[in-house]
Structure 1
Amino acid sequence: MTLTSLQRSQLAATLSAVALVAGAGGYYLAGSQGGTAAPGKTDAQKPLYYYDPMVPGEHYDNPDSLSSMGMKTVPKYADDSGDPAAAPGFKIDPSAMQSLGIRLATATEGTLAGSLDVTGAIDFNQRDIAIVQARATGFIQRVYGRAPGDVIRAGAPIADVLVPEWGGAQGEYEAVRKTGDPTLIAAARQRLRLIGVPGGAAGGRGMTTIRSPIGGVITTLDARAGVTLAAGQTLAQVNGLGTVWLNAAVPEVRVGDVKIGQAATAELAGFPGERFTGRVIAVLPTAQADSRTLTVRIELANRDGRLRPGMFATVHLGDKSRSALLVPSEAVIRTGKRTLVMLALDKGRFRPAEVRIGREAGGQTEILAGLAAGEKVVASGQFLLDSEASLTGIAARPIAGDAK
């Protein structure tokens, strides 16, 4: 968490208040009494050192020392609770907890929803594409009024093309056919096939109509009347609409819950109350750096053509719930290097504890290790207490540690 200079000032003032009410019940009072023990301490409990809570990094041996800020130092004991058997931690006076906004929650066994709801967008099925090309050099004689974005049926005409080479070959075929020689006729027909005449058919005098092999939407169109074509030149590209892809953005922390072949359902604003069912066909290998998500590709049937590329959808993945140890998500502190919660111990004492977390849903986070059912954690004000723990040098309870 990054603090502004104003927030640092407010935090320092609050920590001073915490120090005044913490543990010994009167640190500054103890300091003003010279070398005498703080209230609640026996003579046998010697201070570890003396320090100024405003400058906790400075340690002094003399109870009459002044810190670099000119403040009287106070004693620091191994356990400011007064109980040598108490767990490591620091104490907050109960009367100060309300003013500090501290709210507690209990780690409990519960059911974590298994559904994963994300957003996605409809896209073309990139495996259902037809490229319409010229099979020989020729000239476009006629176009059929098509435009990019038009939805066409299979076999729809794109352009009429005149191919001079075909006209000569077809004339030769007709002459050979009249001879009645089956060998020559077969050779002439084979030549028609090799130069690209559709079906090797005779007739047509070099004119052919180029048609779309599939139904769908025209995404590109370069057929214009009078244009000279080269062999292999693309006239149009058609994307089928029988099936579409739904690309869903899944957080990388939840991508392990997605499996190839699992069912998925989608809801679209344009069709309220209706659900479209599909299956996961791929999890793309690259994560989006800005959103830390991976793209999960779902294939949906689109027989009536209502699903159009560009539409947004709410995607539901998974439907299994499971039992888990849960705490409020707001109680979890992520430092970047580790994950902590602030434990609420007996007698108003607090200590950070390291945890390992799992899934998150409905404002609850799964605890995989580091907590036991029934332990109390701080759900509000934990960042302030974590700062106090850092200032006073309280070590976090490790994941392998016993609950105390």
Structure 2
Amino acid sequence: MERKKFIKAIAWAAIAPALVLAACGGTDKKTADAAVKQTYTCPMHPQIVQDKPGTCPICAMDLVPFDKNNKDLSLTLGENQVALGNITTLTVGAGALHNFKQLNGRLAIDPEKTAVISSRVPGRIEKLYVKETGVAVSKGQPLYKIYSEQLASLQQEYLLAVAQATQFPGDARFQQIEKAARQKLVLYDQSDAQINRFVQAGKTDPYITYPSPVSGVVAELSAAEGQYVGEGGAIMRLEGYGQLWVEADVYPAEAAAIRPGQSVKVIVAGWEQEPQQMTVQFINPALQPGSQVMQLRGTVANPGNRWQPGMQANILLPAGTQGDVLSVPVDAVIRDGKGTHVWLETAKGKYAPRMVKTGVENFDAVEITSGLKNGDKVVVTGAYLLYSEYILKKGADPMANHKH
């Protein structure tokens, strides 16, 4: 009996280590399985993390998989990814940074490009060739045809004067009468071709078609077909948009630093990448009614009429220059709740975030006071794409655990 107990004890002693190793192996396997277990996050809200697919409780976007164990702050992209993302870099260096003060402004019609079309003779509008506003017309294009008895009388008077001058070519008095009668027709906007036409026909033509004296867009119609208009009565108004006023509000204290002839930059809303140069032409010396601001004005070219009066435009006044500073383009800087950072190319195809502090900023550049040094290669286009790619792959803000 004692012998059996002894053999049993020896057997347990032999198999115990194997059982312990098996148990440890099972624990390690469970630990490894837990380590490689897939996790999911929201591309817009990286704080949302769960261990199964689903939707974000904040924005309802589909969750995407990410590797929560990857602590590397850098991203590695292939050549195709860099090309598709339009990721470009710039080597930063010290230089001057121009600072600007922004004034709110707007585009307005240039009165010098506005023409009021009025009737040169009293009569009845027989036909309007342009019957609605917003229509573009060219110089010389027919605008309206008018029936005028007064014009017919002047034509008849001229025909008699021509007949007398022809019959008595040596009489200077008849020659003077003919010139005076012709001048009356010219004053009523009759061209030489129109005058010669009815002289050759030998009869008056009370129906006169008037062409447009300028090119422009019909902004207002003041008459209709069949309507009688007096001499000088308005028929329509044409506006030219090839050149526009830029008007900006400025406080009296700021106006002291502005002078006519000064060159400034103009940014039209929607065309921020195409700043226009403008010369300040006029500063209104009086305050605008009901306000405490003055108004400055200049003109900008409007090729192809791509801008319309009333659009917002900002005027950038030079407000000093910072010398020998590090600066990067505005698009290179990313701001979020964790701070401000840029992306650096640390090696070919490898990009890492770098927290920075900013200083003076204008419409296209930002001063970097700390975080960068001369020679750093900063991503200037595609920085937000790298920021989004980092959140998608790693499920966290690139600056979440960064201390500058």
**Shorter-chain-normalised TM-score: which range?**
0.3 to 0.5
**What TM-score comes out, normalization by structure 1 length?**
0.48
**RCO higher in 1 or 2 (8 Å CA, sep ≥ 6)?**
2
**What TM-score comes out, normalization by structure 2 length?**
0.48
Q: Look at both structures and tell me which one has the larger radius of gyration over its CA atoms.
A: 2
